Structure 1
Amino acid sequence: MQWHFTVPPQLKKKYHKPFKMRRLSLKTTIDITFLVIVVCFAMLAYSIHNRSQSVKQNRIIVNHTSNINSVLEKVLSSTIDIETGTRGYTITGDENYLEVYNHGHKNLEIWIDSLRSMNETDELQIKKLDTLEKLIDSKKKISAMVIQARKESGMEKAAEIVKKGRGKEVMDSIRKSIRDYQNQAVLILTENLSQTEENVKARNNNFFLFTGITFIILIFAYIKIRQTTQRLLLDKIIQENLMDELTIQNQQLNDFANITSHNLRSPASNITALIATIEENSPVEEYRMIFDMLKKVAQNLNDSLNQLMEVLHIKKNKIVEKELLAFQEIFSKITESLQGEILKSGAIIKADFKEVQEIAYSRIYLESIFHNLISNAIKYRAEDRTPEITIRSERKNNIVYLYVIDNGLGIDLSKNGHKVFGMHQIFHNHPEAKGIGLFMTKTQIESMKGKISVASEVNIGTTFTVMFGT
């Protein structure tokens, strides 16, 4: 985009006075602006990394606590086996009960050793385990005395030992000790789950803060760049030497701003949708699943921002770098970044790239094409049926084609066909509709010497056909 200014003579005279203070050049303003953005992004990435590490550590603690509780249950079960075997043998004299008794003995040794290995670095837990083990040893001794008395002196002698109540007292103490042990483990588990939720909230707040700061900086930079451009155009020599550079840089900035403002909405809404699926009483497995999805969305957002930043380094010749890209890889990345919307809509997406698996193309353009066509298919879905989206590649006459087919609301082409790919053209009421996505997609495809066409029926669905340039 080029700007043309008509400056009154009195303003020319005013602006041609010598400057008392040196003003920043347009290039310096851009460099400073995006340096600030990069610094903000680095801070966000660092914060997300720290929060992720904290979540990972809490997950380990949760798993460890769960294992401890499970082993404690087995310790109590094995102690009950000893008591049951002792009582059964005392009453009946049937030595089959001694097998239950001996089995409990063996298992107790295994579970106690397991507890020690799981708490070997925690002195407080080791002390509690020592106390529990002493109680269990007392229970073993009392049980052994009862069994020996039953064998040597009969049931009456064994019953006298039981009537003293020492065995019951020790067993109650064992139950209380294990219950206290488990209650403390549950308390630790609750605290860590609370910390995990706080870390997720903090990470999301940091992301939204970064997004807001980035847009504010871009708006401020855009205003400052226009002001600087107007000043520079007053000088004929500077205008002749720098006009081409200014035009290219502003075109790149506008392209970057449009792509960023359009593509960042989807990750932001997906993160919000994923977080909304978690409730305070959600199970740990659901937290893990959502955290994994959030990691993928955050990583894809990170990659997209890095690639968008590279747009600003395109030189005057506007060479768009191509690389060999796998359709499946790009498809997987985009669907991961749209995971929240896919879950929310219940969309079924099928992809078949068997006929053509790879293409030499601009990565940022191909990802943008997939993102816009898939997100539009989800956005303009029909509410009375499950959204179904089919994507496939094809080669005809040595030309690669990509088809994106949906069963959504469709477009009345007889009425709006000539406006489908126009800027700010909207055909359905939707709060997020901006009329930019298809315009950007068409521009990107045609800049790579390709074409895009559409076939659609109202309330039946739409098919977009992308013909990639050779």
Structure 2
Amino acid sequence: MQQNMPQTLGLNRLLGGAIGVIALVSVLSSGAVLITGDQLREATDARSRSNQLIRALDNFRAAMLNQETGLRGYLITGRDGSLEPYRTGRLALDEAIDRLRSLIGQDPERTRLLADAVAAARSWQTEVGEVAIRIAADPAKRDEAVHIEANGQGKRLFDTFRERLAAIEGLEGAVRTALAERVVRGERNESVALWGGTLLTLLICLGIGVAINRLIVQPLVRVMSFVERVGEGNLSDQLEVRTGGEVGRLGVTLNAMVAGLSDLARTNRAATADLNAAAAEIR
């Protein structure tokens, strides 16, 4: 004898929908966290590049100052060892220029300002530094070399590259302010996405738990209580069916079963009474 498979669409739909909602919220929350995390990393990387640019500008200034210090020391002492700051400053300047070009990239305004600063620095090296060193190599011409270093041209070139570097730093200051705001906003958005997604997931889980308790657990508790009463011999009760789906069908089936048992019990009692009456007549 074949039996029809029970229909469990309602319960499956409830549980499947609950799992689907939790999965969807988790995916959306994870996606939001990833997006805000990427935005925060971009802002942090940009701020790091800005900090490196500021340090490179400081290195440019320090390299030129070291060259000036070394040149003046050589002009005063005439000793070749006094030129060590000048030589190290030249190397440091080349490194600072390369670093600045890499950090500035294709920005036209900063590129123009850097080109002007580099031109002024190179002019100081070739027109002041190298010329003064070459002339000062002859002790008799040291006064002439000192005059070249002090005639004002070197100061003008120093002022030129300092102004250009300060202009780059000013432009970068506005960028740094915007980047700081982006970082703060990114951190806030990441926290909102993380904690908001977590809170939403917890609320959905709580709602699903309440729904399962109301639609499944409580009806099953009533069913079990009804079954216990039937087991104790109470065939007069009927289970109040408040829900549909599998639990509701279970309640209807139990009511039909109990009604059948009650009818069977009445039939048995009637048959027993008839047998007792017939036996009494025979006696």
State the TM bucket, normalised to the shorter chain.
Answer: 0.5 to 0.7
Q: Which residue of 1 aligns with 2:243?
A: 231
How far residue 129 of structure 1 moved from its aligned partner, in angstroms, is: 2.2
Counterpart position of 2:77: 92
Identity of aligned residues (%): 19
Partners of 1:149 and 1:239 in 2: how far apart? 115
Correspondent of 2:128 among 142, 151, 161: 142
Q: Within 5 Å, which residues of 2 pair with 1:193-208? A: 193-208=180-195
* 1:158 and 2:145 correspond: yes
Q: Contact (CA 8 Å) 1:29, 1:221: kept in 2 or not? A: no
Aligned to 1:129: 114
Residue aligning to 1:181: 168
Give the stretch that moved more between structures: 39-48 or 224-233: 224-233
Higher RCO (CA < 8 A, seq sep 6+): 2
Q: Is the 8 A contact 2:75 2:142 kept in 1?
A: yes
* 2:271 alignment partner in structure 1: none
Q: Are positions 1:60 and 2:54 aligned together?
A: no
Post-superposition Cα deviations, 1:173-217, rounded to whole Å, max 9, x if no partner, equal: 323333343444454344334322222211222233334433443
Aligned to 2:16: 31
Q: Which residue of 2 aligns with 1:78?
A: 63
TM-score, scaled relative to structure 2: 0.63
Cα 1:40/1:102, change in 2 over 3 Å: same
Number of the residue aligned with 1:401: none
Structure 2 CA distance for aligned equivalents of residues 234 and 63 of structure 1: 64
Going by fraction, where is helix more abundant, 1 or 2? 2
Alpha-carbon distance between aligned partners in 2 of 1:142 and 1:203, rounded to the nearest angstrom: 55
Which whole-Å CA distance do the structure 1 matches of 2:67 and 2:183 have between them? Answer: 41
1:112 equivalent in alignment to 2:86: no
User: For 1:214 and 1:99, how far apart are their aligned partners in 2?
Assistant: 66
Aligned-partner Cα distance in 2 for 1:119–1:41:
41
Query: 2:201 corresponds to which residue?
Result: 214
Question: For residues 164 and 173 of structure 1, what CA distance do their matches in structure 2 show?
Answer: 16
- Give the gaps of 5 or more residues in structure 1: 1-23, 241-470
Structure 2: which amino acid aligns with 1:195? Answer: R
Question: Shift in Å at residue 87 of structure 1?
Answer: 1.8
Q: Does structure 2 retain, via aligned residues, the 8 Å contact 1:119–1:126? A: yes
Q: 2:231 is matched with which residue?
A: none
CA RMSD of the aligned region, Å? Answer: 3.0
CA contact (8 A) 1:62 1:192 kept: yes
CA deviation after TM superposition for structure 1 residue 47, in Å: 0.8
Q: Provide closer, same or farther for how the CA distance between residues 44 and 149 of structure 1 changes in structure 2, counting only shifts above 3 A.
A: same
CA distance in 1, matches of 2:142, 2:98: 34
Partner of 1:25: helix, strand, or coil?
helix
Aligned to 1:231, the other structure's residue is in SS state: coil
Supply the distance in 1 between the matched residues of 2:141 and 2:243 (Cα, whole angstroms): 112
Shift of 1:44: 0.7
Specify every segment of 5 or more residues in structure 2 that has no aligned partner in the other structure, as ranges: 1-8, 220-241, 255-283
Cross-structure match for 1:170: 157
Q: Distance in 2 between matches of 1:176 and 1:57?
A: 30
What amino acid is the match of 2:86?
Answer: Y
> Cα distance, 1:145 vs. partner?
2.9
Higher strand share: 1
With over 3 angstroms needed to count, the CA separation of the structure-2 counterparts of 1:149 and 1:38, relative to structure 1, is same
Instruction: State the partner residue of 2:265.
Output: none
Asked if the contact 1:135–1:174 (Cα under 8 Å) also holds between the matched residues in 2, the reply is yes
Cα distance in 1, alignment partners of residues 253 and 181 from structure 2: 60
Structure 1 residues 77 and 239: CA distance shift in structure 2, 3 A? farther
What secondary structure is seen at the aligned counterpart in 1 of 2:243?
A: helix
Q: 8 Å contact 1:86–1:143 — kept in the other structure?
A: yes
Q: Distance in 2 between matches of 1:50 and 1:84?
A: 51
Cα displacement string for residues 392-450 of structure 1 (whole angstroms, at most 9, x for unaligned residues): xxxxxxxxxxxxxxxxxxxxxxxxxxxxxxxxxxxxxxxxxxxxxxxxxxxxxxxxxxx
In the alignment, which of 5, 18, 26 is matched to residue 41 of structure 1? Answer: 26
1:94/1:212 Cα in 2 relative to 1: closer, same or farther (>3 Å)? closer
2:60/2:96 contact within 8 Å kept: yes
CA distance in 1, matches of 2:131, 2:208: 87
Alignment of structure 1 residues 35-434 onto 2, 5 Å: 35-140=20-125, 141-151=127-137, 154-225=141-212, 226-227=214-215, 230-232=242-244, 233-236=247-250
Q: Residues 47-80 of structure 1, C-alpha deviation per residue, up to 9 Å, x if partnerless?
A: 1111222222233333333333333322222211
Instruction: Indicate if the aligned counterparts of 2:120 and 2:160 stay in contact, CA closer than 8 A.
Output: yes
In 2: Cα distance, 1:224 partner to 1:93 partner: 93
Q: TM-score, normalised by structure 1?
A: 0.41
Report the AA paired with residue 145 of structure 1: V
